[in-house]
Structure 1
């Protein structure tokens, strides 16, 4: 249980976020209540209403913080395409998996909490920042082809995003090797390489 002193130090909002992350990791993003978050944070059931209108708003804050860190990690991994776009692209995939593995509560809030990202200005902003990294990477990778032969960057970004999310859902969670003897990182890397070869973006 979170330390009750967090409330007295003026950190109630963050204490509730941390409590919610723990509950999501334990129960999933749809199975906790605001009262449980308050109890986990060591405060009264009425205390969360000082910062959040309800459970969904608290879940949105967890997702917002997650998207912010997620975008930072992807941007740092891409590093403007250095030393080359393909290497940078593969680092982005590794960063995606690392975030899902190290921040499962945030990841589930972001992608499995049933939130309307389009209906929330802050969620839209932070999720778009992460998406922009994939768009930039796709554009740099396809720059070697003539303009008329380049696949749409948005399509590429969506396909890679879907591939990474599928690897997380199917192969990253649970006991290692439970569903596949191949590590999730290798599963994602091989899938991305096959996809890029199919588009004619890499040789081999």
Structure 2
């Protein structure tokens, strides 16, 4: 692939990231991405054989961003695993709040199922970090199952918070008590 081709491929993904940030995942049509990138509507097909492959490249950027933020929050491992899990949970909930469209795109079943561009290989390492931390807090438990339940709980909090359901039901504008309750429910009381 020539430098020019790599540049256009990157530009298409950049435009997709900007578009999803600005307008949400539903705005990510091949035609709209091409229009905003200033290329013909058929140009994306030269670099991405399917719509799913372009969406996967965009979602991959989201996973990379989330992984970077999670790594920074967890730090070098000097803190207790439970503190690291709380930091990871905060990053996850904040990412969902501030990157709504990207968050929705990243967890689309069709993208993860198709595994275009190795998307699962981008997303699964973050889950493995969660599993490893759960294992350190609850060595007697089946860490993958507990981590999966905790992740589902965090994802549910993120989604219900965005919809406004949790603030309405709980009467609080602070997500931190919900995060602590989720951790306590899956890891035992602190």
Q: Secondary structure at the match of 2:39?
A: coil
User: More deviation in 19-28 or 158-167?
Assistant: 19-28
Higher Cα Rg: structure 1 or 2?
1
Following the alignment from structure 2 to structure 1, what is the Cα–Cα distance between the partners of residues 66 and 56?
A: 15
Shift of 1:49: 2.3
Q: Does 1:15 pair with 2:11?
A: yes
- Select 1:124's aligned residue among 90, 99, 120: 120
**Equivalences, count:** 186
**Where does structure 2 lack aligned partners over 5 or more consecutive residues?**
none
Q: Does 1:110 pair with 2:106?
A: yes
Q: Secondary structure at the match of 2:25?
A: coil
Q: Secondary structure at the match of 1:182?
A: coil
RCO higher in structure (CA 8 A, sep ≥6): 2
Conservation of the 8 A alpha-carbon contact between 1:64 and 1:126: yes
Aligned to 1:153: 143
**Where does structure 1 lack aligned partners over 5 or more consecutive residues?**
1-7, 144-149
Aligned to 1:82: 78
Moved over 6 A (4+): none
- Select 2:69's aligned residue among 52, 64, 73: 73
Following the alignment from structure 2 to structure 1, what is the Cα–Cα distance between the partners of residues 183 and 162?
A: 16
Aligned to 1:162: 152
Conservation of the 8 A alpha-carbon contact between 1:63 and 1:109: yes
Change (3 A) 1:16 1:55: same
Q: Secondary structure at the match of 1:131?
A: helix
Q: Does 1:137 pair with 2:133?
A: yes
What is the TM-score normalised by the length of structure 1?
Answer: 0.77
